């Protein structure tokens, strides 16, 4: 289940990760994004997210309806009938709706907050979003950093932080700074050390070098778009299971 497109989303890899161990009462995603792992379970979820845009998007999707989604789709189609690449800012939408459009149809590569132009080749994933609406209501979304998490017995953490030095478009509306460059690996190490609960820790290229404290296993090699130079590059996805029963 994926309610919207997002850079670094792990939806396609979910079948390769372990499922929550017996006795798990809640899924925690300290770096929420699309909440892909939590959405794939039936458990209550807690997510922390630093992006104002992504938090606003989640809050909107938790209360929106199928009718509102189709109205947004109609609005986009109408704008495209007048202009090939309409500017989403001209729609005068609230931040949640605006972010839904930006992540799904703006920029050459979707899933990023890098552009305001709605590219003709991209469509809104209305059907996928609708499939997630009820499940998203089981998420408590907190606008805060991952290190605000406080250990609670029965939790399982799915930790999927930004990659060091990434410029995948995790732009904050408030600070105008890139979350990737603000991200510090030691924050994730501190987070994991603060809990005795099971943790699934996922990371991309260089995981054993960036986080030598953990035992890593390769999950999959995959080609991803090279945003700056075009074409694609090969990336290895890694996983580490910590405090696992």
pLDDT tens track, the chain, 245 positions = 899 999 888 889 999 999 999 999 999 999 999 999 999 999 999 999 999 999 999 999 999 999 999 999 999 999 999 999 999 999 999 999 999 999 999 988 889 888 999 999 999 999 999 999 999 999 999 999 999 999 999 999 999 998 776 554 555 444 455 454 577 899 999 999 999 999 999 999 899 999 999 999 999 998 776 666 667 778 899 999 999 99
The pLDDT score that the predictor gives to residue 222 is 81
Please name each of the domains of the chain with its CATH number. Answer: 23-50+134-242 (3.40.50.150), 66-128 (no CATH)
> Where in the chain does DSSP place strands (E)?
26-29, 45-49, 139-143, 155-159, 199-203, 217-225, 232-242
Q: For residues 166 and 178, what is the distance between their CA atoms, to the nearest angstrom?
A: 8
The pLDDT score that the predictor gives to residue 175 is 47
The pLDDT score that the predictor gives to residue 68 is 97
Q: For residues 99 and 106, what is the distance between their CA atoms, to the nearest angstrom?
A: 10
* Closest listed residue to residue 52, CA positions, set 98, 4, 106: 98
Q: For residues 64 and 93, what is the distance between their CA atoms, to the nearest angstrom?
A: 14
Helix, strand or coil, per DSSP, at residue 125: coil
């Amino acid at each position: 289940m994926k309610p919207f497109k997002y850079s670094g989303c792990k939806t396609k890899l979910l079948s390769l990760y372990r499922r929550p161990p017996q006795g798990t009462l809640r899924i925690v995603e300290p770096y929420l994004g699309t909440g892909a792992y939590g959405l794939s379970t039936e458990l209550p979820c807690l997510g922390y997210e630093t992006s104002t845009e992504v938090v606003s998007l989640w809050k909107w999707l938790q209360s929106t309806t199928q009718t509102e989604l189709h109205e947004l789709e109609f609005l986009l189609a109408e704008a495209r009938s007048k202009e090939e690449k309409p500017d989403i800012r001209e729609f005068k939408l609230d931040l949640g709706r605006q972010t839904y459009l930006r992540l799904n149809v703006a920029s050459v590569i979707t899933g990023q907050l890098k552009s305001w132009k709605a590219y003709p080749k991209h469509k809104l994933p209305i059907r996928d979003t609708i499939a997630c609406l009820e499940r998203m209501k089981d998420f408590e979304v907190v606008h805060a950093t991952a290190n605000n998490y406080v250990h609670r017995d029965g939790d399982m953490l799915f930790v999927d932080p930004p990659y060091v030095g990434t410029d995948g478009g995790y732009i904050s509306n408030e600070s105008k700074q890139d979350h990737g460059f603000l991200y510090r690996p030691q924050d994730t190490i501190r987070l994991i050390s603060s809990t005795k609960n099971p943790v699934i820790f996922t990371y991309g290229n260089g995981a054993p070098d960036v986080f030598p404290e953990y035992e890593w296993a390769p999950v999959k090699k995959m080609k991803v778009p090279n945003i700056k130079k075009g074409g694609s590059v090969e990336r290895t996805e890694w996983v580490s299971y910590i405090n696992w029963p």
